[in-house]
Amino acid sequence: MNQPGDTYIYDDGSAPTCAVDGAVSSPVPLDGIRGKLTCKAPLAPYTWFKTGGPADWLFEPADMDDLKTFLERLGGEIPVMALGLGSNMIVRDGGVPGVVVRLGKSFAKVEHTGELELTCGGGASGILVASTARDLGIAGLEFLRGIPGTVGGFVRMNGGAYGREVADVLVDCAVILHDGSFITLNAAELEYSYRHSALPEGAIVVSARFHGRPGEPADIGAEMDRIAAAREASQPLRTKTGGSTFKNPEGHKAWQLVDQAGCRGLTLGGAQVSEKHTNFLINTGTATSADIEGLGELVRDKVYAATGVSLEWEIQRVGRP
């Protein structure tokens, strides 16, 4: 595990040069591909922090078959990364090598497929899943209302909130690997732990099945409202932020450790530790991704010096510095 003060070495992850650089127009033949492929695509608009460089390639597949065909043609030779709502991510200023896959509307459906069971596309939001469950009288999924992300993202990281996590409700998930092969993994095979799974690198969760328990829609709705109100009261939701920055260490709350180390309101460039919730970093308007990540590392150093506890990043940091 990285410790405060460690030197970080980044893999540039070379990918095919884009047409704008005077070379190839696509990493694979595009005949029969129905989705949209964009070269040097800006990613900042797709992240909550609104910072970061472009993707070498951004692919927005038309549907699952389109995604599978595209990845088969890549053949696992180029790095692949899935992008959801960009809520728990820092895209570094040098951009992301390889292909970034962004799942659109065809992957955002939520269907009632069994007693107390929903099948949800990898691009469906947590609030859509929770709301659909409420309308069907399926309890136990209310906490997904409090996760600002998509099914693919919170299945990968075992997302959780308000005492529950994905491991508690997942039946299985359908996954396309970075070479285009298709597999189904159940919850046990994902080897879930706190904010971590054994999902292979470059794998894209295209759907997942969740189970709940019987409940009354009115009671489920009331719990969802309570979660929404609690988030609004305690978190800087109306800022350019990225969600919880650090994992809670065993026996501690990350925000309390950050506060104890005197980091509330701490700034670096255009980045700031939230005054409202110290486990959130904020882009005050002029921050670069380097400012945000650098501030996070500064906070880790200060917390380690004050408490001896080494905070681990919860936010995913991707790309070239």
Residue 203 has pLDDT above 60, yes or no: yes
Q: Give the pLDDT mean for 219-225.
A: 98
Q: What percent of the chain has a predicted confidence (pLDDT) above 90? A: 87
Residue 74 has pLDDT above 80, yes or no: yes
Average pLDDT taken over every residue of the chain: 92
More confident residue, 27 or 142: 142
Beta bridge partners of 313: 246
What pLDDT was estimated at residue 108? 97
pTM of the shown model = 0.89
What pLDDT was estimated at residue 28? 87
Per-residue pLDDT of 236-279, as tens digits, reads 989 999 999 999 999 999 999 999 999 999 999 999 999 999 99
Q: Directed axis angle between helix 217-234 and helix 126-135, to 10°?
A: 150
Q: Give the pLDDT mean for 6-14.
A: 36
Catalytic residues: 195, 244, 314
What pLDDT was estimated at residue 25? 67
| 244/95 Cα distance (integer angstroms) | 22
What pLDDT was estimated at residue 201? 87
Q: CA–CA distance from 253 to each of 130, 246, 312 (Å)?
A: 26, 9, 12
What pLDDT was estimated at residue 5? 40
What pLDDT was estimated at residue 12? 41
Q: Give the pLDDT mean for 130-149.
A: 96
| CA–centroid distance for 280 within its chain | 15
